[in-house]
Amino acid sequence: MSKKICIVTTTSLPINQFIRFSFEEFHTSGYDVSILCDMDDEFVKSLPEYVNPIHISMKRGISIVGIIATLEMYKIFKKEKFNLVQYSTPNASFYASIASFFARVPIRLYCQWGMIFVSFTGLRRSIFKSIEKVICRLSTDVQPVSHGNLYLGREMNFYNEKNSRVVWNGSACGVDLTKFDISKKKQFRQEIRAKYKISQDDIVIGYLGRLMKDKGFDELISSFKLLKEKYPYLKMLFVGPTERTYNENPELITYFYECTDIIKVGNVPDTERYYSAMDLFVFPSYREGFGNVVIEAQAMALPLVISDVPGPTDGVVVDETAFIVPVKTIEPLADKIETLICNENLRLSMGNRGRALVEARFDSKILLKKIIENRNWLIQGLRGNSLEGKRHESL
């Protein structure tokens, strides 16, 4: 008899980024898989025939659409009688936790990819913190994607040790080591550097993510601007969307758009090629659930400089594969970047250790098997602490 699982996100983007890799394994493991999100026809056509697509209109932000979405989910959950409903992303998790609770779904699994409120202040922080608590309290099991966020959630009394855990070593999807093929790094590096007219002697700082204040944009660009004056051969590969959101420093935005040594790549499917063209990777985010870019960069043997926040720090070994700096700081960030700029041997040794860490602890194939084991275990009613992963301290 098949096990019925429904995976819920707000839009189809997270499905493609973090969930799609698991479809076949779920199917071959006897699961009847449904996907519920705000989806378009192109996304539906891209799904395997064994995946059941369910479209519900959902938008970011609080609106009347959320009430309608919750009611529609309730009707679907009541009718379909899923064994397990799994939800991620803020809006979808809020709606699905309420709907699945009232529909009496046996296993209501909150895959906590991050806590959005931690970078907010004032009333906004209080509202989103309360929403997070509601989601956790309505869920039968909560699975943060990093140990740092697991411990933070427990400290805030969102959940207890019995109903919360991290699967294996964390991350929503790990790293596909076939795609991130380190043996092709030299080839990828030459191709991308030739494409963007980057000299082999240039030092390239890498970043992959959104142009967003909460991702540390101001600190990233401030550090680059400061170091560029001292090292003329310095460049940056900025991989990801470049549309401005809000609250970023206007002067830094202008510098970012006008500086020809900041190479704006946009969204690309073959990120492993772009990591290969970098010499070091910088990720000064204010908050993350995990920050998969951290392990992807290490998979291509890059040394890192990252902010000291739960999530990214769970994917590295401090001072062995990455330097950690205080969040929202410029001078410490620039100082650690400069250390790596000036020491090629250090970049190589840290990068090699990073690759070894990812191979040992974040291989997507191993993680997927652990996820399937966990879902079987939840459905079979064996909840407890035995499958919780342990934080790694060193290689």
DSSP assignment string, 345-395? HHHHHHHHHHHHHHHHH-BHHHHHHHHHHHHHHHHTT--SSTTB-------
CATH of 3-174+363-379, one of 3.40.50.2000, 3.30.200.20, 3.40.50.720, 3.40.630.10: 3.40.50.2000
Q: Which residue from 395, 308, 314 is spatially nearest to 357, judged by alpha carbons? A: 395
Output the pLDDT for position 62. 64
Output the pLDDT for position 389. 47
- Find the helix or strand (DSSP H, E) in which 86 lies: strand 84-87
Output the pLDDT for position 382. 53
Distance of alpha carbon 125 from alpha carbon 121, whole angstroms: 5
Distance of alpha carbon 109 from alpha carbon 276, whole angstroms: 36
Query: What residues are paired with 283 via a beta bridge?
Result: 306
- The SS3 call for residue 315 is helix
What residues of the chain score a pLDDT lower than 70? 1, 60-63, 382-395
Distance of alpha carbon 207 from alpha carbon 238, whole angstroms: 5
Output the pLDDT for position 210. 92
Say if residue 199 is exposed, middle or buried (CB neighbours under 10 Å; 0-12, 13-18, 19+). Answer: exposed
3-174+363-379 and 182-361: identical CATH topology? yes
Output the pLDDT for position 393. 41
Distance of alpha carbon 308 from alpha carbon 328, whole angstroms: 10
Domain ranges of the chain: 3-174+363-379, 182-361
Residue entry with tokens 């427990």 = 154
- Phi and psi for 265 in degrees, rounded to 5? -90, -35
pTM of the entire predicted model:
0.94
DSSP 215: G
Query: What residues are paired with 206 via a beta bridge?
Result: 237, 281
Distance of alpha carbon 110 from alpha carbon 198, whole angstroms: 44
Distance of alpha carbon 253 from alpha carbon 87, whole angstroms: 35
**Structure token digits, residue 176:** 């596909």
> What CATH number is given for 182-361 in this structure?
3.40.50.2000
Output the pLDDT for position 61. 65
Whether 323 contacts 336, CB under 8 Å: yes
Say if residue 204 is exposed, middle or buried (CB neighbours under 10 Å; 0-12, 13-18, 19+). Answer: buried
Distance of alpha carbon 263 from alpha carbon 194, whole angstroms: 13
Output the pLDDT for position 394. 38
Whether 114 contacts 82, CB under 8 Å: no
